Amino acid sequence: MQVGLKVWRFNSRSGERELQEFEISAPEEATLLDCLDIVKDKHDGTLAYRKSCRMMICGSCGMRMDGAAVLACKVRMYEIAEAGHVPVISAMGNLPIVKDLVVDMQPFWEKFKSVNPYLQPGYDEPPDGKEYRVKQERMNVIHKEALCINCGCCVSECNAMESDPDFLGPQALAKGMRFVGDPRDGAKLARLEKLNGEHGIWECTRCYFCNERCPKGVDPRDAIAKLGAESVMEGIDRDMGAKHAKWFVTSAKTTGWLRETELVPKTQGVVTAIKQTKFALGLAMKGKVPPPFPPHVAKNVQESRRLYDLVHEQGIAGYAGIVQGEHALAKLSHGNVQGESLEQIYDRPGSFSRPYLQDEEIPSGSEGGMGALNQADTTPGEEPTKMYGDNQPGEGAAK
């Protein structure tokens, strides 16, 4: 097939930029990365881009196609070429360009390192020859976050990072959640404190571009929501963003509506609210805000109150509630037969994994034992993990 590409070239020494067009012949199964390889091999050897695995694993080949971040080795070119479209390829956003499609990942790695992306276990070693086991349901909580390959596509499209380059950003925060939600980690509260600091979780504008662009389904915005919910549950709510979120919940629970008029005093305090009086009066005169008293109560307010009570009865406040919500949404997208219980839905072949609910019984057939620490009981497993080489020939890989 014939493929057209327009590539933004950049020379960091001279600062010159140039849009260069290429027309190449490529096999029908070619990806964008294959096409760039052909350009480099046969047309212009000076073109610079990163790659390694060519199979969506290493995270090296992040770049923009028509203004949106992609993994070049994931994008098939057949339909694009067939449609006669010539895509514009450029370097990722929010990171300094070194040359052509290569960006300087140093700021990315600095933020990555700042969230301590490694386990900090807070429990004693198990008795000799034993090990701690973690229930699958507990690890399901961080399944998506653990899929991150550090490609930077989410960072490239993050609105909040455009206005504050020091914002930790979707990748570092998703990595933060990966350890906050890990039952083996002993630094949960210290991590949450840090992630609630300046340039932390509450700077996210909830634009959802990171979810949209992540090539691995990590959904970093959802991870940030989990961190926010867990912070509030743990009483780490000093940030205005946390206060804002708490007021949303109170408002929905008490009236079924979002009472915007009370948002500023509840979030920013009375003094700030008084300073905004003139602005608020202006809005009121234009009919933009309803009078705060008496508060308007929705007809079916009991539904939102029941929802609130359910979350607390089931012990799914904090990130567990958001994981539950994610699964519920996934379930909806799979269709829901009238009267089908949640258990039946999770038991369907191909259904999403059942999320962890605090204080629940271990489901039959599930691994017994838990991770560790303040979030879980520490029960040593009966048998140590088999090491590679323990297997007899023909038994397959070590467990």
Q: State the residues that interact with ligand FES by CB under 6 A.
A: 51-54, 56-61, 71, 73
CA distances from 399 to 52, 393, 394 (A): 28, 14, 14
Q: How many CB atoms lie within 10 A of CB 397?
A: 7
257 binds ligand SF4 (CB under 6 A): no
Which of 107, 176, 220, 318 lies at the binding interface for ligand SF4 (CB under 6 A)? 220
| Three-class SS state of 313 | helix
Residue at token pair 């007899």: 392
Position 152 contacts ligand SF4 (CB under 6 A): yes
Residue 281 contact, options ligand SF4, ligand FES, none, Cβ 5-8 Å cut-off depending on partner type: none
CA 324 from centroid of its chain's CA atoms: 15
Among residues 103 and 180, whose Cβ is nearest to ligand FES?
A: 103
- Cβ proximity to ligand FES: between 69 and 204 the closer is 69
Q: Shortest approach of ligand FES to residue 98 CB, angstroms?
A: 17
Which residue number, 52 or 391, has a Cβ lying nearer to ligand FES? 52
How far is Cα 168 from Cα 94, in angstroms, rounded to an integer?
12
Query: What does 56 interact with, of ligand SF4, ligand FES, none (CB < 5 to 8 A by kind)?
Result: ligand FES
Can you tell me which of 132, 209, 247, 319 binds ligand SF4, judged by CB under 6 A? 209
Q: Considering the complex, state which of residue 149 and residue 376 has its C-beta at the smaller distance from ligand FES.
A: 149
- Indicate the residue among 102 and 242 with the shorter CB distance to ligand FES: 102
DSSP label at 19? Answer: E
Output b/e per residue, 79-88; b: 16+ Cβ within 10 A: ebbeeeebbe
Query: What is the rounded distance in angstroms from the CA atom of residue 163 to the CA atom of residue 94?
Result: 10
> Contact, 49 vs 138, CB < 8 A?
no
Peptide bond into 183 cis (omega under 30): no
Q: Which of 160, 177, 229, 264 binds ligand SF4 (CB under 6 A)?
A: 160
Q: How many CB atoms lie within 10 A of CB 44?
A: 13
Residue pair 267/259 in contact by the 8 Å Cβ criterion: no
58 interacts with, out of ligand FES, ligand SF4, none, CB within 5 to 8 A per kind: ligand FES
Q: Can residue 288 be called a binding residue for ligand SF4 (CB under 6 A)?
A: no
- Under the binding rule (CB under 6 A), the answer on residue 172 touching ligand SF4 is no
Residues near ligand SF4 (CB under 6 A)? 148-154, 157-160, 170-171, 174, 204-210, 214, 216, 218, 220-221, 224
